[in-house]
Structure 1
Amino acid sequence: MEQVFASIITIGDELLIGQVVDTNSAWMAQELNKAGIWLKRRVAVGDNKQEILNALDDQSRDTQIILITGGLGPTADDITKPVLCDYFGGKMVVDQNTLAHVKYLFEQVFRRPITERNLKQAEVPDVCTVLHNTRGSAPGMWFEKNGRVFVSLPGVPHEMKGLMTNEVLPRLQQHFTMPFISHRTLLTAGIGESYLADKIQTWEEKLPAHFKLAYLPNYGMVRLRITGSGPDKQQLEEALDTEFSKVKALVKEWMVVDEDLPLHVVIGNLLKQQGKTMSTAESCTGGYIAHLITSVSGSSAYYKGSIVSYANEIKEKVLNVSPETMKAGGAVSEATVKEMVLGAVAALNTDYALATSGIMGPDGGSPEKPVGMVWVAVGNRNKVVTQLFNFRFDRMRNIEMTAINALNLLRKFIAEQA
C-alpha cells in the first residue's frame, strides 16, 4: 500500500501581496491528513496563465493529487477555468445542472437580477467532472490526466469546505487505496521546547520508524503530536496508544490536556464538569480573552460575560476597585487586579473570574513599568492568586501572550478546587 501525496495550488494576486490570508490550505491539509493523504507542498501563484500552467506541471510530477483553489469567480481576473480548459485540451460548455442552480440562487435565494456574467458561472470544460457546489454559484471541477487527479475549487472558504466535505474527499477515498493515518496530541505548559526534548529524548529515539513526533510551540506552550501510518487501523491505533501512554508519563508534570484542544476549550470543559461559571475583567487585553472563550459554541453554559475596564474610572465605578488602591499602585499593580477579580465575581455573579492589567505598547511604558509588564489575577470569592509577567513582543503578541498565560493560571486554579 503506497502513500498518496497531494499538493495545493492557491491562485490569486491578493494572496501573493498579502491582501488576503490563505486559510484554505491549512484547513484542506488537516482534512486530507485525516483521510490518509499526505500533503507534500503548498504553492501560491498569481492570476497569470503561464504561472498557473507551470505550477500544474511542477506539482503533478511527484504528487498524485493536485488541489487548486481560487480564480473561479465571474470577473475578468478569474482565469482558472479557461486555463484549465487549455491545459486539459477541452472546450467550454454550459453545464445544465449548474445553470439551473445559478438561476435558482439569484431568483430564489439572492432575489436580485441575474446577468450574463453570472450565467457564465455555469460554463465548464467538457473534459471535467462537475462537482455540485451547494453553497455557491461556482462549481468544482474534477480532472484526470496521466494517473493524476486535479480538482479545482472556489476560493471562498465556506464554499470550498462544502465541496471538499461532500464531493472531493469521498471521491478521493474511492479513487485511491491509502494507508491509515492517526495522531495523538498533548499540550504542555511551563516547560520550554528544548528542555521538553531533553526530557523525552530516550523515548523519542526508540519510536518505531513509521511514527513521527512533532514539537509545536506557541505562546509559551508546547504541543507534542505523534503521527503514525500503516495498513491496519487497529494495530496502528493500539501502537499509538502505547507510545502515547509512555510520553504522557514522562511529561505529566507539565501536561495541560492529552487532547488536541486549545486552552480556552480545556477551561470550558473543566467548568462544565464542575457545574461552575466564570467571568473576565479585562483591561490591557481589551476583551480578547472574552472573544476566545465565546468562540466556542455552548460557552454560555459556563461563561457569563466580561467587564472591559480599559479606563480607570470603569475599574473603580463598575468593578469597585478602591480609589486608594489605584492611587497607591496604579492600574498595573497586584492589588488592582486582585480587586478586579473580586469585583467581576460580585458584579457578574460567577464562581471564578480572571483579570488582566498591563502595558501592551508600543507606548505607555516607564522605567518602573516597562512595556510588556502585565499583572494577572484569577480566583473566586474566597481566594485570589496573582502572577506578574514581563513580555517583550509587539502589541498584539503581548495581548495574545497575556491571554494564554491568564487562561492557564485560571485552569490551574480551577483544577485545584476540584
Structure 2
Amino acid sequence: MKAYILTIGDEILIGQVTDTNATYMAEALSVEGYEVVEHLSVADTRDGIRNGLDRALAAADIVLMTGGLGPTKDDITKKVLAEYVGTEMAFHQESWERLVKIYAGFGKEAGPHHREQCELPASATVITNKAGTAPGMWFEHKGKIIVSMPGVPYEMRYLVSKEIIPRLVAGNVDQSRQRSLTILTAGLGESTLAEAIEAVEDALPRHISLAYLPNLGTVRLRLTTRGTDETAMQAELTKYKDEIEAIVGQYVYGYGKEDLALAVQKKMQQDNLTLATAESCTGGSIARMITGHAGSSGHFRGSVVAYDNDVKSSVLGVSTELLAQHGAVSKEVVEAMAQNARQVLKSDYAVATSGIAGPGGGSDEKPVGTIWIAVAGPDGVKSKLLSSGKDRKRNITYTVHMALNLLMGQLQGK
C-alpha cells in the first residue's frame, strides 16, 4: 500500500524547525512494507492543509499528518479536517476528563483553551496520546485512511509506534513486509566501493535492491528486500551481506545505525581498552562524538584541545624544537601529540589531529585542507595525511570520521 506524509507548520517552511517527524514516520512505514510516495510540508492555513490533503489522497491510500493540534488559535488542523471529511465538531468527554486529571496532578486546573482542545471532529476515531495532551485522530474517508497526530516529536513517536503502526498492520490484507540490512563502511569512496562490489550488485535478484548512502569519509550500503517469509528474507540479506564483506570486509566497521564512535566504544569495552584524544583542528569534535554515546565513560579517559602551540608543548609535551622545525601541521608533531596524550592521560590508545581546517590560514606548501591524523597505541604510532577542500565544517567532519576509522583499523588489526 502507498503512504503519504503531510507535515503542517509555518515553522518548518521558514526553516525555524527541522522536520524530524517525517524521517521517523517514513522509516516506520517502510519497515512494515508501506511505500512512502511523497513527503509534503504545508502552511498552517486552511488552503494549505486542504491542498495538501487533496494531493496526498490522490497519490496514496494512507496519509499520516502531524501538526496543528494544540490549544491555541493558530492550531486549526482539526477544524479543517472536520470540514474536509464532511463532519461537525463535537465535544469529546473522555479527552476532557483525561486533561482535567493530568492538570490536577500538576496542581493546576484545565482551562478554556484545554476544553477547546477537546472539540474534535465527530467522525474521527480518537486515539489516546499517553505521551501528551492532544489526542490523535483516525479517519476513514472515501476508502482511504487519514491519521492526524501532534507535531511534538516524542508524542508523534509514541502514537506511531504504539498505536498507528499496530492498527495499520492489523488491518493490512497484504502481509508483505520490507526488511533492510545496512553495512557501514569507512575509508573507501562511493565510486570505488561500487566498482569493487559491482559483480555482487549485478547478481542481485530483482526484489533486492542496494543503495549507497555516502557521507564524509563513510558510505552506508543498504540492502533491502520485500516478502512475506521473515526467515527467508533475513537469510537472503545475510547471504548478500557476506558476499559484499568477502570483497570489502576490511572497510566494514559496523551495521545498522551505529556510527564510528559507537563501533569504537563497543570494540574497546569488549577488549577492556581505554582512549584519549589530543585535538587541534577538530577542536574537541572527536571527544564530543565519543561522549555523545551513553556508556562512553567505560573507555574514554579524556581530551586535550591543544589549539595553540603553547598548549601542545606545555600540556602535551611536544618539544618546541619539533614545532619550529616541522610546524604544527606535520607528521612529526601529530605523532608526538598522540604518543604524549597517551602518556599524559594514561590511556591504551590516543588519537590526535592537527591541520588547517580553513577557510583561511593555508600556504603554498600546506594549503587549506592539509590535515594530519595519528593513532598511538601499545604497538606504536600510525599517522595519515588528509587532503581535503576549503569548507571548514566538512573538513572537521571528514577528519573526525577518518581519525576514528584509523583507530578502528588499529583495534581490528587491519
Q: Report TM bin, short chain.
A: over 0.9
Contact 2:388 2:395 (C-alpha < 8 Å) held by counterparts = yes
Which of the residues 122, 141, 145 maps onto 1:145? 141
Q: 1:219 offset after TM fit, Å?
A: 1.0
Pairing 1:102–2:99 present? yes
Query: Once structures 1 and 2 are overlaid, which stretch shifts more, 132-141 or 90-99?
Result: 90-99
Pairing 1:42–2:39 present? yes
Where does residue 337 of structure 2 map in the other structure? 340
Which of the residues 8, 29, 52 maps onto 1:11? 8
Q: 1:257 offset after TM fit, Å?
A: 3.2
Where does residue 308 of structure 2 map in the other structure? 311
**Unaligned 5+ residue runs, structure 1?**
none
Query: Once structures 1 and 2 are overlaid, which stretch shifts more, 73-82 or 209-218?
Result: 73-82
Where does residue 28 of structure 2 map in the other structure? 31
- Residue 99 of structure 2 aligns with an amino acid whose one-letter code is V
Q: 1:95 offset after TM fit, Å?
A: 2.3
Q: 1:382 offset after TM fit, Å?
A: 4.9
Where does residue 62 of structure 2 map in the other structure? 65
Q: 1:40 offset after TM fit, Å?
A: 1.6
Pairing 1:227–2:206 present? no
Which of the residues 330, 349, 355 maps onto 2:346? 349
| Counterparts of residues 52-201 of structure 1 (less than 5 Å) | 52-109=49-106, 114-177=110-173, 178-201=175-198
Which of the residues 248, 251, 254 maps onto 1:251? 248
Q: 1:332 offset after TM fit, Å?
A: 2.2
- Residue 297 of structure 1 aligns with an amino acid whose one-letter code is A
Separation in 2, partners of 1:94, 1:357: 64
Q: 1:73 offset after TM fit, Å?
A: 2.2
> What TM-score do the two structures reach when normalised by structure 2?
0.93
Contact 2:8 2:43 (C-alpha < 8 Å) held by counterparts = yes
> What TM-score do the two structures reach when normalised by structure 1?
0.92
Separation in 2, partners of 1:67, 1:232: 27
Q: 1:151 offset after TM fit, Å?
A: 1.0
- Residue 134 of structure 1 aligns with an amino acid whose one-letter code is K
Distance 1:326 1:115, change over 3 A: farther
| Counterparts of residues 212-291 of structure 1 (less than 5 Å) | 212-257=209-254, 259-291=256-288
Percent of residue pairs bearing the same amino acid type:
43
SS in 2 for 1:252: helix
Q: 1:241 offset after TM fit, Å?
A: 2.3
- Residue 210 of structure 1 aligns with an amino acid whose one-letter code is H
Distance 1:120 1:305, change over 3 A: farther
Matched length: 413
Structure 1, residues 245-278: CA drift from partner, whole Å, max 9, x if none? 2222232343333555221111111112211111
SS in 2 for 1:315: helix
Separation in 2, partners of 1:302, 1:277: 4
**Unaligned 5+ residue runs, structure 2?**
none
Q: 1:190 offset after TM fit, Å?
A: 2.8
SS in 2 for 1:61: helix
SS in 2 for 1:229: strand
Separation in 2, partners of 1:381, 1:20: 46
- Residue 400 of structure 1 aligns with an amino acid whose one-letter code is T
SS in 2 for 1:362: coil
Distance 1:175 1:190, change over 3 A: same
Distance 1:317 1:364, change over 3 A: same
Where does residue 404 of structure 1 map in the other structure? 401
Separation in 1, partners of 2:122, 2:345: 62
- Residue 143 of structure 1 aligns with an amino acid whose one-letter code is F
Contact 2:187 2:405 (C-alpha < 8 Å) held by counterparts = no
